Amino acid sequence: MTESKSQKERQWRSRKNAKNPHGKVKTFEQLADEAGKDENK
């Protein structure tokens, strides 16, 4: 028997979350903004 669609989606989500445990990846602009703030201290 094949897996149900919901099972596949649940497994895919868990793999996706395991790859990126700290939440969303920042865009380059956000990283550049943070780097700029640190230099101005």
Indicate whether 15 pLDDT > 60. yes
Residue type, 17: N
Question: What pLDDT, in 10s, does the model give residues 20-33?
Answer: 666 667 777 887 88
The DSSP string of the chain is -PPPHHHHHHHHHHHHHHH-TTSSPPPHHHHHHHHHHHHT-
Cβ contacts of 34 within 8 Å, gap of 6 or more: 26
Residue type, 24: K
Task: Say what the pLDDT of residue 3 is.
Answer: 79
